[in-house]
């Protein structure tokens, strides 16, 4: 399906509540044009603005952007510095639009590793937008899915050692309760990855258990509203079974409008 082809409107009840995006392809976009990687990141920031605006106007409840992974710290120092400077600039320049449009900014990841010149505007904007009840914009920064699960298990181990938790009481809900994402965001419905790669690269490993995956060949700097709409139409046409059969889903829908809980 062409990203530019006109598509019918998506019913509200077929929209994902929470979309996560692995924004991949900035470096390849730049290399294809004989430019430094930094130029790809700059254009990628423009795609972030476009996507945030589109998701809000469409009615998406939460949007999580995989902006900087825990492994990205191993990139060349100059590239890391540029990414941090670009992040700071985004937080400063988009502050007004985020607040004016009732967006609430939250973050997940080991954000204590971020430099102070990023933490300061980030923390300020999170506090300023804390009471907003529009779309939630979540930035995954210094984020790794394995690291987040490890941190959650470590917290439970400490509770067991302190005698406040019994090992037999540890279940999936206990682990999930220790994840920041579960406290701030609705369950992940749709995970999009750009650039043609078919992997999730340590992003939302726990949260993506029952998410629908959408892969596009489009490099992130070229990602536009039409590409987001295409992903949403693909999502709307899927049957989400959560481990059940189609007949079981039909019976569950007959009993009420809620989707069955994932096992």
Structure tokens at 228: 């987001």
Give dist(CA 167, CA 9) in Å, integer: 49
Structure tokens at 4: 């530019």
Would you please indicate which residues are annotated as catalytic (active-site) residues? 24, 72
Q: List, in sequence order, every residue forming a beta bridge with 66; answer none if it has no partner.
A: 22, 140
Residue 39 exposed, middle or buried by CB count within 10 Å (0-12, 13-18, 19+): middle
SS3 state at 2: coil
Q: Which residues contact 97 (CB under 8 A, 6 or more apart)?
A: 103
182: closest CA among 190, 171, 173? 173
Q: How far is CA 85 from CA 36, 71, 204, in A?
A: 16, 18, 25
């Amino acid at each position: 399906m062409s990203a530019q082809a006109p598509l019918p409107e998506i019913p509200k009840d077929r929209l994902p509540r929470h979309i996560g995006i692995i924004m991949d392809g900035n470096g390849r976009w730049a290399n294809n044009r004989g430019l430094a990687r930094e130029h790809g990141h700059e254009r990628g920031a423009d795609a972030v603005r476009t996507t945030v605006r589109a998701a809000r106007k469409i009615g998406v409840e939460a949007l999580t952007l995989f902006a900087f992974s825990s492994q990205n710290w191993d990139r060349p120092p100059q590239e890391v510095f540029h990414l941090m400077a670009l992040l700071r600039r985004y937080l400063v320049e988009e502050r007004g639009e985020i607040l004016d449009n009732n967006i609430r900014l939250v973050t997940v990841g080991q954000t204590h590793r971020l430099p102070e010149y990023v933490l300061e505007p980030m923390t300020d904007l999170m506090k300023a937008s804390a009471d907003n009840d529009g779309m939630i914009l979540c930035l995954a920064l210094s984020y790794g899915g394995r690291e987040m699960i490890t941190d959650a298990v470590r917290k439970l181990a400490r509770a067991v050692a302190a005698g406040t938790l019994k090992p037999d009481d540890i279940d999936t809900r206990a682990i999930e309760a220790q994840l920041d994402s579960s406290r701030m965001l609705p369950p992940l419905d749709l995970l999009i990855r750009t650039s043609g790669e078919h992997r999730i690269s340590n992003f939302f490993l726990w949260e993506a258990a029952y998410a629908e995956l959408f892969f596009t060949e489009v490099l992130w700097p070229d990602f536009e509203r039409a590409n987001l709409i295409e992903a949403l139409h693909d999502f709307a046409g899927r049957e989400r079974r959560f481990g059940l059969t189609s007949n079981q889903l039909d019976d569950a829908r007959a009993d009420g409008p809620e989707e069955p809980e994932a096992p």
